[in-house]
Structure 1
């Protein structure tokens, strides 16, 4: 049964956060420090971070690729959920933001699980394929420049194992994907990606209304 909502979306969001998000001082401090940056909108929502950590545990994931790290909130959430011998490769190009990430990884004691690669993500992903790491990873999270989402997806699909999952962030793009009056490069890139994923027979798919849209793609 599907019921029509009786509350406005912001009130419903506040209810979800109040009744599900389990917070702590490290996560709060990282969010607050990130909020001081003019690019703070790039940080994922706390309910999304908690969902991703739960998914890592449900999958018993041990190896993760992250494309786009920013100040490290998503990687911190997922690294916490990895076992002690887990591995996460984080791809980013910005030293300023990732220095913040590294500080919080160290504070939380997860830095030994994380390898940060400061280079264009496409180069890093291509090198992982060349190094023979295809079908090795359990999970990939893509949250970077939208124009390259399709390229990131293709490399990650090669690198994750069958039954592995790719998470793609911002696939609702603040609702702009459904607004026909919006015609910018990033919005059109996400629209093209969403159309492509729907028809891709290599994956099972679900686009969730979590935060700014989170697509789950399971490799068949």
Structure 2
């Protein structure tokens, strides 16, 4: 998410935080009922949330850009997914304070590794104490910079081609398709890619004149273009899952 969008989010999300709804952070569920979403969180998510994750979530709720965080239910989903596929080597593109990153790190085996990429190291560093407390910071290799550049640097090393078990993308939506072509070279055959925000606040199914915030309207066509492209890509199997703000899982076939 770009800096100008982050600033716009600040005022809007600040009001949500004041209301205290779902901690004022990560409420990206497409469920029509707030009460039902709260039920899911309180019944299945929060009781099973590891203490370092809970503390990171609570810290992030006070950050001015907290709209960018991964929701707690999606974090739980990612943890289970990583374990189900027995992932060991992963990439995360778009980190923020690291809620999804910590979720993944907790799910990886002791010798698992995550290459984490983001343009803002200072946001990542806010989450480092929680990763250290969880005993998983050694699994994380953080790299600061533009996603395209960092992915291409990985591709320069032949051993990285077709090497990674799982890639999670939660970054600038207008570059998702550019990321996809590079990630397809890095993820192994049978490996998974997860693209976050593919239902984009529900805007993908809403009329163009729906009164969404400017950042939602700006990124909507890019998200829709991605969804169309993924559905037509014969190199992958896909499933669009309505968790959080929508995550599309792609399994590489070739």
TM-score (norm: length of structure 1): 0.93
Q: What is the correspondence of 1:10-29 to structure 2 with a 5 Å cutoff?
A: 10-21=34-45, 22-29=48-55
Residues 72 and 104 in structure 1, CA contact (< 8 A), matched pair in contact too:
no
Larger displacement relative to structure 2 (110-119 or 96-105):
96-105
Alignment match, 1:181: 208
Matched with 2:68 is 42
Whether 1:58 and 2:91 are equivalent positions in the alignment is no
2:90–2:115 CA contact under 8 A, matched in 1? yes
Distance (Å, rounded) in 2 between the aligned partners of 1:49 and 1:148: 23
Which consecutive unaligned segments of at least 5 residues does structure 2 have?
Answer: 1-30, 210-215
Change (3 A) 1:8 1:196: closer
SS at 2:74 equivalent: helix
The aligned length equals 214
Q: 242, 245, 250: which is aligned to 1:212?
A: 245
CA–CA distance in structure 2, aligned partners of residues 135 and 34 of structure 1: 34
Contact kept in structure 1, 2:191 and 2:251, CA below 8 Å:
yes
Q: Which moved more, 1:184-193 or 1:134-143?
A: 184-193
The answer for the alignment partner of 2:224 in structure 1 is 191
Q: CA deviation at 1:184?
A: 3.2
For 1:123-162, what per-residue CA distance to the aligned partner results, in whole angstroms no more than 9, with x for missing partners?
Answer: 1111111111110000000000111111112211110101
Counterpart Cα distance in 1 of 2:32 and 2:162: 43
1:8, distance to aligned residue in structure 2 (A): 4.7
Matching residue within 77, 95, 117 for 2:103: 77
Q: Partners of 1:13 and 1:121 in 2: how far apart?
A: 32
1:165 corresponds, among 185, 192, 196, to: 192
Which residues of structure 1 form unaligned runs of 5+?
1-6
**Structure 1 vs Structure 2 CA RMSD:** 1.4
Residue 147 in structure 1 maps to residue 171 in structure 2: no
CA distance in 2, matches of 1:43, 1:157: 25
Residue 9 of structure 1: how far off its partner (Å): 2.7
